[in-house]
Amino acid sequence: AQTVTQSQPEMSVQEAETVTLSCTYDTSENNYYLFWYKQPPSRQMILVIRQEAYKQQNATENRFSVNFQKAAKSFSLKISDSQLGDTAMYFCAHSGAGSYQLTFGKGTKLSVIP
């Protein structure tokens, strides 16, 4: 069974600064995918970034990038130039290749302070 651990229940960052959210996971699969999802208050969850485990290159989407350390089973999210709209719950998630399920961590509540 897969597990996803987010050890930071809450974090805050000043607007325009950079913040890194941590995630570790455990899996017995060789081929899998990792995700960061954002859930703004009272709004739907949206996909921020996706990483394929067999790709060594870290995924990047505009201000969002990941640091994927496969051997350490670590998958952190870096948000650069933080904006007020980045305030949300952030969930790290895992999926095995061909699996229908996502396994989520407990989330990190990020507050961007003006």
Partner 1 sequence: DTGVSQDPRHKITKRGQNVTFRCDPISEHNRLYWYRQTLGQGPEFLTYFQNEAQLEKSRLLSDRFSAERPKGSFSTLEIQRTEQGDSAMYLCASSSRAGASYGYTFGSGTRLTVV
CA dihedral angle for residue 90, residue 27, residue 60, residue 36, rounded to 10 degrees: -20
Q: Applying CB under 8 A, does 98 fall inside the site for partner 1? A: yes
Rounded to 5 degrees, φ, ψ at 9 are -65, -35
Interface size with partner 1, residues (CB under 8 A):
26
Least Cα distance to 79 among 38, 21, 24, 31 occurs for 21
Q: Applying CB under 8 A, does 70 fall inside the site for partner 1? A: no
Residues 15-54 that bind partner 1 (CB under 8 A): 33, 35, 37, 42-47, 50, 52
Q: Applying CB under 8 A, does 106 fall inside the site for partner 1? A: yes
Query: For residue 20, which amino acid is it?
Result: T
Two tokens, residue 82: 């933080």
Residues lying near partner 1 in the complex (CB under 8 A): 4, 33, 35, 37, 42-47, 50, 52, 91, 93, 95, 97-107
